[in-house]
Chain A
Amino acid sequence: MDMILDILTIPLVQAVIKILVFVLGFVMAVGTVLTLMERKWMSAVQDRIGPNRANIGKFTGHGALHIAADGVKSLLKEDTVPAGADRFLYLIAPLFSYFPAILVWAVIPFAGPIGSVTFQITDINTGLVFIFAVTSLGVYGAVLGGYASNNKYALLGAIRTSSQMLSYEVFLGLSLIGIFMVYGTVQVSKIVELQNTYWFDGLIPKWGIFTQPLAFFLFFTGMLAEAKRQPFDQPEGESEIIAGYYLEYSGARFSAYMLAEYVSIVAVSAITVTLFFGGYQIPWLFPDGFHLLGYSLALPPVVVALLQAGSFITKTLIFCWLIIIIRWTLPRFRFDQTMDLGWKKMLPLSMANLVVTALVLLLTA
């Protein structure tokens, strides 16, 4: 028994366990379920039933079996490589799309620490910068896939992806500098912890949405563009360039792209929640229990951690839902309109946000 506990204290072992639990148990699961939920929600919006035919005997689970059916189908399908494709790049490109979306989760805290045990895979002190570094890697998956496919539509999609992601990263970074300035750190766990401090005698939490409201809208818009979701989905606009950069892919590699898209939706939601909606924090819940206006309710640490994890997951799912609803409500921008929006509107706004934040901090300091 002691030996097991000893092994559990080894950081590497802890990290592996966390990876298994968080990434496989949460991220992959949510990403997979989202593929079905998107279709279900879309059907609800569009006044129809949605997928419900996959079945085992009489059991359909309201379409839940479609997840399994899709998985099996994509694995069993032929993995085609088009003539004239750059074979090596073509085959590895989906991984470039897939892994960055997963890597982001290394620095996302799921709950507050209990003693020395943290619910975060690694708490590097450059957390936010790491997130940026990793998400910008995602562009390689699209560019390499589109370039290697030897297809003009795919190439157009790849070019659109690269210019869109590069442009939107600029103001994405700028919009977050306000957050760095307000909380004075780039370490994700610190930012989340500081969001549990309060204005007006512990009444209003200092969440990012309250300290940096404009930055939230800029950041969320930019993140939608980074995840290539409507209204920024020209890279894969099905009515123009069919499916864009992953047009030629089939089978498991195609589903890797699809899954990467859904995992990055979850990642976008999680990052937004972490930075602007208090991460795992529940308002007025402290490590020892609730405190509000002099009233307090003591809770054991395990319950607090569970509550926090629950709050984080709930908030993340709400944002996933929002992103999907946006997709089925809005049309998509034209490519030049995306660029105009990014460079001519979002960039000046994020700069203005920066200046105002700096002035306010200077005056209140």
Chain B
Amino acid sequence: MKRSNLPLEFGAEPMDIEIGPSHPAMHGITRLSTRLDGEVVTAVEVEIGYLHRGFEKECENSTYVQVIPYTDRLNYVSPILNNIGYSLAVEKLFGLDVPKRAQYARVILGELSRISDHLTCNGAMGMEVGAMTVFLWYVKAREYLWELTEEVTGARLTHNWTRFGGNANDLPDTFFDMLEERLKKVEAVLEEGVKMLFKNKIFLDRVKDVGVLSRERAIEYGFTGPMLRATGEPYDLRRAEPYLVYNELDFEIPVGTVGDSYDRFLVRHEEMLQSISIIRQAVAKIPKGGHYQHDRRAWLPDKTEVYGSIEGLIDHFKVIMEGSTPPKGEVYQAIEGGNGELGFYLVSDGTGKPYKCRVRPPCFNFVSALPEMLIGHYVGDIVPIYGSINMIGGELER
């Protein structure tokens, strides 16, 4: 419901107001220079970069494997997806085969990450319209999932889990013991969220027809992921260009119709349920086998080999001194991240460090479209719309 067409009834001087960089509802630190006509937004300029850490420069000065922990800090609510994306890109460069079990493990943990990302976003959307309770419930549910990933990787948030050719460690038995119980708990929390918000007239009024971006404009802006699907375009990289073992799993791609905040909320909600179903299928299908396929160019050999054979010792020496050395070339690998197409573009000059490591951050496009979504809305809508795009500072500004 945009109000920009209404005439200025009582002539008033427009007011400029700075929202952010430090504002309690700013997810990262972003500045919205807003011009208000009464309560209606007439102009917005987005200023980002407060969380810029020089990720790409840092990558160019690190070996390939040293980049993996950096990727944890991109989208910091779904770190494993970043790990997977980067590792897939490097594996594509090396031409490595990943064992089936490792691929399934990546799917399972990646989907857990996706749920935690969507939980954060939907909860935050609730919080921004004043439903603080739902946010805290969702954060609680997120904690259940993070305990699961902690069981595998040893860390709640900064996992550093994938390697080139597999994963750092296998899924332990305790993980499978906990998984089903945790998923049930998360489903229960989601059910509570439905009761709390989906039938709440106030919430529906706040998010329906707010922040609408049509399908055409969304594509123009380069939207991907839930934001694009909310406009009705069923583009999901897990289906469009299947990676890992997604073509062996059965899931649906929820799409919206209007492209407003409400559709984004529903799409994310449904995706969480789909992810849970994907995890269940993957757990049922996961084969036995190794979690890591060693390649002498990519990473260190096993310790027994280092101490037991001269080849192992030489490989170890080479990887330590030079890093993993992929062939020359360039590669682009995209996966469906929490926010959409998370792409890694690597240029290798044959040395141990990436010559160029570019991240294609999905929420970059969303934030660039913010002015178009905001202009014409009320001040009270700024933050809910901003919340619905799920902007993650680490990924946006790198």
The reply to whether A and B meet directly (CB within 8 Å) is yes
For A230, the closest partner residue in chain B by CB is B130
Q: Mark A322-344, 1 if CB is under 8 A from B, else 0.
A: 00000011111111110000000
User: Are the CB atoms of B205 and A231 closer together than 8 Å?
Assistant: no
User: Are the CB atoms of B136 and A333 closer together than 8 Å?
Assistant: no
Cross-chain contact of A331 among B23, B129, B382, B383 (Cβ < 8 A): B129
User: Are the CB atoms of A238 and B133 closer together than 8 Å?
Assistant: no
Binds B, one of A17-25, A43-51, A258-266: A43-51
User: Are the CB atoms of B23 and A330 closer together than 8 Å?
Assistant: no
Asked if A239 is at the interface (CB within 8 A of a chain B CB), the reply is yes
Give the CA-CA distance A239 to B378 in the complex, in Å.
13
Tell me which residues across on chain B come within 8 A of A328, comparing CB atoms.
Answer: 132-133
Give the CA-CA distance A234 to B24 in the complex, in Å.
15
User: Are the CB atoms of B130 and A330 closer together than 8 Å?
Assistant: yes
Asked if A219 is at the interface (CB within 8 A of a chain B CB), the reply is no
Expressed in whole angstroms, the minimum distance between the Cβ of B293 and any Cβ of chain A is 43
Interface size on B, residues (CB 8 A): 31
Interface size on A, residues (CB 8 A): 28
Asked if A226 is at the interface (CB within 8 A of a chain B CB), the reply is no
Give the CA-CA distance A306 to B140 in the complex, in Å.
45
Tell me which residues across on chain A come within 8 A of B381, comparing CB atoms.
Answer: 334
Q: Would you list which residues of chain A between 234 and 290 have a CB under 8 Å from chain B?
A: 234, 237-242
Contacts A240-B379, A335-B380; is A329 near B196 (CB within 8 Å)? yes
Tell me which residues across on chain A come within 8 A of B155, comparing CB atoms.
Answer: none
Expressed in whole angstroms, the minimum distance between the Cβ of A150 and any Cβ of chain B is 13
Give the CA-CA distance A234 to B130 in the complex, in Å.
9
Contacts A46-B136, A333-B205; is A237 near B130 (CB within 8 Å)? yes
Tell me which residues across on chain B come within 8 A of A38, comparing CB atoms.
Answer: none
Q: Would you list which residues of chain B between 348 and 382 have a CB under 8 Å from chain A?
A: 378-382
Tell me which residues across on chain B come within 8 A of A234, comparing CB atoms.
Answer: 380
Cross-chain contact of B206 among A230, A242, A331 (Cβ < 8 A): A331
User: Are the CB atoms of B132 and A152 closer together than 8 Å?
Assistant: no
Q: Would you list which residues of chain B between 180 and 214 have a CB under 8 Å from chain A?
A: 196-197, 200, 202-203, 205-206
Cross-chain contact of B130 among A46, A156, A239, A335 (Cβ < 8 A): A239
5 closest residue pairs by CB, A with B: A332-B130, A239-B25, A331-B129, A46-B136, A331-B131
Residues of B within 8 A of A (CB): 15, 17, 23-25, 39, 126-133, 136-137, 140, 196-197, 200, 202-203, 205-206, 378-384
- What are 10 A-B pairs at a CB distance below 8 A? A42-B133, A46-B132, A47-B137, A48-B140, A240-B382, A331-B129, A331-B206, A335-B378, A335-B380, A337-B202
Residues of A within 8 A of B (CB): 42, 45-48, 152-153, 156, 230-231, 233-234, 237-242, 328-337
List 11 other contacts, CB 8 Å, given A42-B133, A328-B132: A46-B132, A152-B15, A230-B130, A239-B127, A241-B379, A328-B133, A331-B130, A331-B200, A333-B202, A333-B205, A333-B206
